[in-house]
């Protein structure tokens, strides 16, 4: 079924009554393709109508397929992507600037921070342009973040672990956003 025919079928099913939709997924199901049956079931679920005709058992495979399709079609939130990208970019610039201001140009940590900041800038740019390489480099950045010694002792380490875990889940679910 093409995207256009799926759109047409979804619109057509939206105009049918509950009883007509129940007939589509019930007694008339042989007249429809599996995808059309899934679309009809999605419309029934959207309306909150039980998935079977009176006196007929529900079709669990259709209900399951409809839920699976609905979950796959749900839009992924990207608000955090913008915030995270901005934070990575600000950290790339802000960390060496803070070192210069607080410790002066002779800070022993400044020189090692420069390549890390350059890497953060590259990650921020790649993520903001939604490039696959930015997505992959972000995984390296998360691993580096986890492995770097930081302040805060054990509490700081737990904080970094939680941050890496949450961002790891977030970015794993959004792989499709990056070309």
Q: What is the pLDDT of residues 13-57, one digit of tens each?
A: 888 888 888 888 888 888 888 888 888 888 888 888 865 544 344
CB 36 within 8 A of CB 9: yes
pLDDT at 59: 56
CB 178 within 8 A of CB 135: yes
- Select from 133, 95, 98 the least CA-distant residue to 114: 95
pLDDT at 4: 58
Between CA 127 and CA 141 the distance in angstroms is 12
Between CA 116 and CA 103 the distance in angstroms is 18
Least confident of 23-27, 74-78, 145-149: 74-78
pLDDT at 55: 39
Residue with the bigger pLDDT between 120 and 52: it is 120
Which pLDDT band, with edges at 50, 70 and 90, does 75 fall under? low
CB 14 within 8 A of CB 45: no
Residue 151 has pLDDT above 70, yes or no: no
Q: What angle (nearest 5°) sits at the alpha carbon of residue 132, between those of residues 130 and 134?
A: 70
Residue with the bigger pLDDT between 32 and 135: it is 135
Q: Hunting for tokens 């930081």 — which residue is that?
A: 150
Between CA 40 and CA 176 the distance in angstroms is 27
pLDDT at 147: 79
Which pLDDT band, with edges at 50, 70 and 90, does 138 fall under? very high
| Mean pLDDT score of the chain | 82
pLDDT at 57: 44
Reading the block at residue 156, the tokens are: 């700081």
Between CA 63 and CA 67 the distance in angstroms is 6
């Amino acid at each position: 079924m093409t995207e256009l025919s799926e759109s047409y079928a979804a619109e057509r099913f939206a105009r049918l009554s509950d009883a007509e939709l129940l007939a589509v997924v019930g007694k008339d199901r042989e007249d429809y393709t599996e995808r059309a049956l899934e679309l009809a079931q999605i419309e029934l679920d959207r309306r909150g109508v039980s998935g079977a005709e009176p006196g007929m058992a529900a079709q669990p495979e259709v209900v399951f397929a409809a839920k699976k399709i609905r979950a796959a079609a749900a839009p992924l939130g990207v608000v955090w992507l913008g915030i995270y990208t901005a934070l990575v970019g600000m950290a790339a610039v802000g960390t060496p600037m803070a070192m210069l201001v607080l410790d002066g140009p002779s800070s022993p940590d400044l020189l090692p921070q420069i390549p890390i900041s350059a890497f953060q800038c590259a990650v921020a740019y790649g993520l903001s342009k939604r490039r696959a390489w930015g997505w992959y480099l972000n995984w390296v950045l998360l691993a580096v973040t986890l492995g770097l010694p930081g302040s805060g002792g054990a509490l700081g380490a737990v904080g970094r672990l939680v941050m890496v875990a949450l961002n790891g889940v977030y970015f794993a679910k959004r792989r499709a956003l990056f070309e």
